[in-house]
Amino acid sequence: MNSSFLMSQAHALFSADGLAGLIFLIMVAVMLIGGLMACTSERLVRCVAGLVVCFVGVAGIYFYLNSPFVATMQMLIYVGAVSVTISFAIMLAAPEQSKKIGPSGPLSGPLGFLTAGLIFGGLAVLGCRTVWPVKPKINSGTMEDIGAQLLQNYSMVFELVSVVLLIAILGAIILARGGRNT
Amino acid sequence: MSLTLLNVIVAVIIAIAFAALNAAYLVWAERRGAARIQRRPGPNINGPFGLFQPPLDGVKLMAKQLLIPGGVDKVLFMAAPVLAMAPAITSFVTLPFSDLIVGHNMHIGILLIFAFASIGGMSLLFAGWSSRNKYSMMSSVRAVSQAIAYEIPMLITVITVVMIAGTTDLMGIVKGQMGGFWHWNIFPFKAGLFNPLMLMSFLIFFTCSLAETNRAPFDLGEAESELVAGFHTEYGSMGFGLFFMAEYANIVIGASLTTILFLGGWDCPFGFFPGVWWFLLKIYLLIASFIWIRWTFPRTTIYGLLNLSWKILIPLSLFNLLLTAGLLKVF
């Protein structure tokens, strides 16, 4: 986006496209604020709150990109299940307010900034150099289409995801067994 | 564009008004019902039958000072009641009250309602944690583990109904049940689909909506005898008022969803004059039974509550899901 494009956007703010752009920017802002809250808060529960805000922003982006089904699934799974599980873990492990985030690791400070800068620069260069072709719509993004695609064309991916979940469950069992004094 | 935007804004305003009015007068109905069941007068001083009590209570709640106890996490403490109320209002926008009265009908309406309901669980967690009070904390952990446990059989039952209807559109689900009570999903005497277990599914869904809204006999989250007042112990004035309103708005949503999924929505039992009055009649009958159950049954224990969900409701709802899938495949 160059500056003249932004100027024309500002003039056409009250057109349909302008409002859509504004909503997009609001969603991006929500995501960034949530991400910053998640990274910089001193209390772990506030970090989870930031994560929830970030997930809501991502769901908004999905909704903006015309796939409301994926957006609702994002809310149901990430806000309803993942975040609640994370906050349960935090409450069970560190219910006292005094327990704040521990000493920082070796990657914090200048090295962390360097890594972040390198990743950001690389992604920015890649994003500017890539030609972004507008592909034709493959389906309408409804539940039936996504279900049919998942169980036909992409059934391999679908099955691999369940293997990932299986590994996670096995890991949880191993961790839980290891803690017992038998 | 502008017209649809205006529609949505008007729908949100009507949804807020409907939620607030229902919250106010369901509190009155609950107190009158409780009083009748327990053989005492209830609120009967202000106005005829005590009907002016809810607005006076509202004025009292709003006029009180918003007290924030020292040591609480202020941001989350203030955000939690708002987070409890906002999803309840948003859900009203997609609920169809009749074939004409709906804020914004979406083809994934039922998923949207459950997606927003998941924010409600987060609000309980934040309220309990940010209060810095051990009773609030225990209460919110209980409330959320209960919500997770009962969301599973509820969603499985919803999947069963969605499979029968072939759509996640709330209006489409109702339209599939039109034409007399023998077509409703609770007694599906439809051509090619005779599933005697749908009555059980209805009971599972009803039980789960009782548990999801933290109502007695499943109100372990606000068990007064053990946990003072649960997650809203530290809240006064309108913070408490918002939690209260959210609870009653959630009851209305639960009753509406039960009506839409199992009782034919705005369909008349005998096939004439379908309309919004049938819908309202059905949801208020369900809400009356919610109140009746609350003041008749004693509170369960947390173990009994979780066992009921994991050992009875989930296997039964899974069995019915398989049976329905088989019936749909065979016929």
Residue A1 pLDDT grade (very low, low, confident, very high; cuts 50, 70, 90): very low
Contact B177, B185 (CB under 8 A): yes
Residue A96 pLDDT grade (very low, low, confident, very high; cuts 50, 70, 90): low
User: In whole angstroms, what is the distance from residue B171 CA to residue B175 CA?
Assistant: 6
Asked if A80's CB is within 8 angstroms of B151's CB, the reply is yes
Q: Are residues A84 and A144 in the same domain?
A: no
Encode pLDDT of B240-272 as tens digits: 888 888 888 888 898 999 988 888 878 777 767
Encode pLDDT of B180-210 as tens digits: 777 777 776 665 567 777 888 888 999 888 8
Among partner residues A45, A52, A143, which is closest to B129 by beta-carbon distance?
A45
pTM for the whole thing?
0.81
Residue B1 pLDDT grade (very low, low, confident, very high; cuts 50, 70, 90): very low
More confident residue, A121 or A98: A121
Asked if B112's CB is within 8 angstroms of A80's CB, the reply is no
Residue A23, in any domain of the structure:
yes
DSSP tag of A135: P
Q: How far apart are the first and last CA of chain A?
A: 62
Whether the CB of A150 is below 8 Å from some CB of chain B: the reply is no
* Domain stop point among A95, A113, A128: A95
Residue A87, in any domain of the structure:
yes
Least confident of A105-114, A150-159, B144-153: A105-114
Whether the CB of B137 is below 8 Å from some CB of chain A: the reply is yes
Asked if A49's CB is within 8 angstroms of B119's CB, the reply is no
Asked if B107's CB is within 8 angstroms of A142's CB, the reply is yes
Residue A123 is predicted with a pLDDT of 93
Structural domain span for residue A44: 9-95
Among partner residues B75, B122, B168, which is closest to A79 by beta-carbon distance?
B122
More confident residue, B139 or A91: B139
How many structural domains are present in chain A? 2
Encode pLDDT of A11-64 as tens digits: 555 667 777 788 888 989 999 999 888 888 777 778 888 888 899 899 989 888
Among A101-105, B17-21, B72-76, B212-216, top mean pLDDT goes to: B17-21
Which chain B residue is nearest to residue A18, measuring alpha carbons? B1
Q: Are residues A143 and A91 in the same domain?
A: no
Q: Are residues A150 and A89 in the same domain?
A: no
**Shortest Cα–Cα distance, A180 to chain B (Å):** 23
Q: Are residues A71 and A147 in the same domain?
A: no
Q: Residue B327, Cα to own-chain centre: how many angstroms?
A: 30
Domains of chain B, by residue range, sit at 65-330
User: In whole angstroms, what is the distance from residue B167 CA to residue B261 CA?
Assistant: 11
Q: Which residues of B touch A46 (CB under 8 A)?
A: 73, 75-76
Among partner residues A52, A69, A97, which is closest to B122 by beta-carbon distance?
A52
pLDDT (average), residues B145-155:
85
Contact B96, B102 (CB under 8 A): yes
pLDDT (average), residues B35-50:
82
Residue B133, token pair as written in the block = 């009070």
What ipTM does this complex have? Answer: 0.77
Q: Are residues A13 and A88 in the same domain?
A: yes
